Chain A
């Protein structure tokens, strides 16, 4: 069962629910598990928040009347978030997912006040006995994209529209480039930092600038469909980000890296109901079903499809690490020794660029 609330309607409901909770205590034999979600964007963003909401809907569908989910969208990162998270806890939610990095400190703070409520914070690194963290290995999608890009590119140059130089984005650029250079050792990734997660017109203009420079495959770590549409206008191809973007640019979209939170939400809700929930740090990828590929577009050749399927199978079988040495950075310094592989901590702290990255 799903239920939408805006923040205003929520305050009254929260008070009433808090009163019942105080009388009722923890006896919850047949009552559904209440699960709350805090979103940073609107569920209609067609990207990051949209995908988290799909995960919530998947949870509704999988557990039916055993859960009762609610969400608050468009929550500003900062003090406002603390208020919203606190209200969700007071409203009797026993499991609360805060889905953006910027909710980290607020989640920890509210969790201290509600030791019996379990919190899950996406993409953060601070945990507590009742606060778990979770994230997805998006770089695995980049490994597939790099392979396809190098196979299909005639110029040997991909354009990469990047948001902010944080490890999450940097490791994607590197994983992409390393995968591409396995196919074509001279492959170049040209990066433009647009300093925003979402500005469609600016993203489109950045795509045009990259195409002017001869890039013939477009990659993005921003949220709008605009770069793919710009690629389609010029008859080139690219990859969708966060959600399946093939509807917005059917000819240009080769495939998309899709965030798939449903499997994780379902697993954790089941553990909560069984009383087996424990604080943990989950970084799941394709094997866990948390990162998937969108539909293949018309630009995918049979060879490219076969190669992509093969990489996905290898990643799922844990046989294809993100990077295996020797890997040099742009100045020629060896960063990962021959034969060694990049560990999770290397990826999560990545602040340098591999050879072949420009911009």
Chain B
């Protein structure tokens, strides 16, 4: 195994982790405010198809990314109206949003299937990324750097800002937050829309970079892995960043092991590893003291009705 292969594997892992990280960060913020949106996969597909359509018709990749964020946010907006304003069941609405996203994206994307989208360019000049080791750091498009920056920003926002504290308060004790004068529903709307925009961007990463085209069901279930990742992280952005790369690594190692002809660990075991890791994390969290600070937000998934 030479350095080029190691670098190439590392870069594949980063590429696989980026959409998971983007989508999971958005969902983490939404869940921290107390809303459980299972529609991540649907919002990702809305983002992916919007990005592909805008990129193919205008050729402007940044406009495409913007459209993806907007489409994801619109999906989340629909979810928010139904669950926050009309207090519909969040689990059912989220699942419906996934099915809705699958259907709408395949309908509007009909005339764009299989056409080549121009791939997002790398941020840094090629000369800087020439050496293999430099390439691991400087060889990516803007989404990769944005996703890491976003993880740090979300961590800072949640733990160091007043607005972040309010958002967590709303997620942990909605009635108390309401009694203190905070606008619970407004905060949750904001968090949901942010989650939708991030899921849309995660979808755009598929149609603009990973698999630069549109095809029905392009994200093939990554939204569910992102949801598992939020739980795995114990609702902490730092752990989420680590988890995204860990999950990405497990997905890539499954295939690399097959290409190498390694049979020490069955590749099927690696394929299910992200889910096993999530179950393990959940078990540890619910086991008691050790996981006390990794628990789900207390109001997660519960509807809120202002009483006074």
Q: Is A224 an interface residue (CB 8 A)?
A: yes
User: Is the Cβ of B106 less than 8 Å from the Cβ of A42?
Assistant: yes
Q: Is B259 an interface residue (CB 8 A)?
A: yes
| A50 and chain B: residue at smallest CB distance | B113
> Which of B84-113 touch A at CB < 8 Å?
106, 109-110, 113
Chain A nearest CB: distance from B9 CB in Å? Answer: 7
User: Is the Cβ of A44 less than 8 Å from the Cβ of B109?
Assistant: yes
| B16 and chain A: residue at smallest CB distance | A205
User: Is the Cβ of A192 less than 8 Å from the Cβ of B259?
Assistant: yes
Query: A42: which of B216, B252, B268 is its contact (CB, 8 Å)?
Result: B216
Residues of the B chain whose Cβ atoms lie less than 8 Å from the Cβ of A204: 210-211
A206-B255 in contact given A201-B210, A212-B5, A233-B119 (Cβ < 8 Å):
yes
Alpha-carbon separation in the docked complex, A46 to B109 (Å): 11
Alpha-carbon separation in the docked complex, A204 to B252 (Å): 11
Alpha-carbon separation in the docked complex, A243 to B222 (Å): 26
Chain B nearest CB: distance from A242 CB in Å? Answer: 11
Residues of the A chain whose Cβ atoms lie less than 8 Å from the Cβ of B106: 42, 44
User: Is the Cβ of B259 less than 8 Å from the Cβ of A212?
Assistant: yes
Query: A359: which of B12, B215, B220, B261 is its contact (CB, 8 Å)?
Result: B261
Chain B nearest CB: distance from A73 CB in Å? Answer: 10
Chain B nearest CB: distance from A228 CB in Å? Answer: 10
**CB-CB contacts of A214-246 with B at 8 A, as 1s and 0s?**
000000000011100100010000000001010
Query: B115: which of A45, A195, A226, A248 is its contact (CB, 8 Å)?
Result: A248
Query: A46: which of B114, B212, B259 is its contact (CB, 8 Å)?
Result: B114
The secondary structure that dominates the A interface is mixed
| A43 and chain B: residue at smallest CB distance | B110
Alpha-carbon separation in the docked complex, A50 to B19 (Å): 28
User: Is the Cβ of A248 less than 8 Å from the Cβ of B116?
Assistant: yes
User: Is the Cβ of B217 less than 8 Å from the Cβ of A198?
Assistant: yes
| A243 and chain B: residue at smallest CB distance | B114
A200-B220 in contact given A192-B255, A205-B12 (Cβ < 8 Å):
yes
Alpha-carbon separation in the docked complex, A313 to B132 (Å): 46
Alpha-carbon separation in the docked complex, A254 to B116 (Å): 16
Residues of the B chain whose Cβ atoms lie less than 8 Å from the Cβ of A193: 258
Alpha-carbon separation in the docked complex, A44 to B114 (Å): 9
Residues of the A chain whose Cβ atoms lie less than 8 Å from the Cβ of B4: 212
User: Is the Cβ of A45 less than 8 Å from the Cβ of B251?
Assistant: no
Q: Is B271 an interface residue (CB 8 A)?
A: yes
Chain A nearest CB: distance from B254 CB in Å? Answer: 9
Q: Is A2 an interface residue (CB 8 A)?
A: no
Chain B nearest CB: distance from A103 CB in Å? Answer: 20
**CB-CB contacts of B252-264 with A at 8 A, as 1s and 0s?**
1001101111000
User: Is the Cβ of B258 less than 8 Å from the Cβ of A212?
Assistant: no
| A227 and chain B: residue at smallest CB distance | B211
Query: A245: which of B109, B114, B211 is its contact (CB, 8 Å)?
Result: B114
Residues of the A chain whose Cβ atoms lie less than 8 Å from the Cβ of B281: none
> Which of A114-150 touch B at CB < 8 Å?
none
| A205 and chain B: residue at smallest CB distance | B255
Alpha-carbon separation in the docked complex, A210 to B119 (Å): 21
Q: Is A309 an interface residue (CB 8 A)?
A: no
User: Is the Cβ of B116 less than 8 Å from the Cβ of A210?
Assistant: no
A194-B255 in contact given A212-B8, A245-B114 (Cβ < 8 Å):
yes
Alpha-carbon separation in the docked complex, A42 to B9 (Å): 34
User: Is the Cβ of A209 less than 8 Å from the Cβ of B215?
Assistant: no
Q: Is B218 an interface residue (CB 8 A)?
A: yes
Residues of the B chain whose Cβ atoms lie less than 8 Å from the Cβ of A50: 113
Q: Is B245 an interface residue (CB 8 A)?
A: no
User: Is the Cβ of A198 less than 8 Å from the Cβ of B220?
Assistant: yes
Residues of the B chain whose Cβ atoms lie less than 8 Å from the Cβ of A318: none
Chain B nearest CB: distance from A285 CB in Å? Answer: 25
Residues of the A chain whose Cβ atoms lie less than 8 Å from the Cβ of B37: none
Alpha-carbon separation in the docked complex, A193 to B261 (Å): 12
Alpha-carbon separation in the docked complex, A358 to B211 (Å): 26
Q: Is B213 an interface residue (CB 8 A)?
A: yes
Residues of the A chain whose Cβ atoms lie less than 8 Å from the Cβ of B12: 205, 208-209
> Which of A231-289 touch B at CB < 8 Å?
233, 243, 245, 247-250
Query: A202: which of B9, B19, B255 is its contact (CB, 8 Å)?
Result: B255
Alpha-carbon separation in the docked complex, A118 to B25 (Å): 54
A209-B220 in contact given A202-B251, A248-B116 (Cβ < 8 Å):
no
Residues of the B chain whose Cβ atoms lie less than 8 Å from the Cβ of A206: 255, 258-259
Q: Is A351 an interface residue (CB 8 A)?
A: no
Residues of the A chain whose Cβ atoms lie less than 8 Å from the Cβ of B194: none
Alpha-carbon separation in the docked complex, A48 to B206 (Å): 22
Residues of the B chain whose Cβ atoms lie less than 8 Å from the Cβ of A213: 5, 259-260
| B271 and chain A: residue at smallest CB distance | A195
| A230 and chain B: residue at smallest CB distance | B211
Alpha-carbon separation in the docked complex, A205 to B16 (Å): 8
Alpha-carbon separation in the docked complex, A42 to B252 (Å): 29
By CB atoms of chain A within 10 A, which of B206, B212, B219, B255 has the most? B255
A44-B110 in contact given A192-B258, A205-B12, A226-B211 (Cβ < 8 Å):
yes
Q: Can you sample 18 A-B contacts with CB below 8 Å? A: A42-B216, A44-B106, A45-B215, A45-B216, A46-B216, A192-B259, A201-B222, A206-B255, A206-B259, A208-B255, A211-B8, A212-B8, A213-B5, A213-B259, A225-B213, A243-B114, A248-B114, A248-B116
B residues contacting A by CB (< 8 A) are: 4-5, 8-9, 12, 16, 19, 106, 109-110, 113-116, 119, 206, 210-213, 215-222, 251-252, 255-256, 258-261, 268, 271
Extra 8 A-B pairs, beta carbons < 8 Å, given A194-B255, A206-B258, A225-B114 = A200-B213, A202-B251, A205-B12, A209-B252, A209-B259, A212-B4, A224-B215, A229-B213
Q: 4 tightest A-B contacts by CB?
A: A46-B114, A209-B259, A199-B220, A200-B211
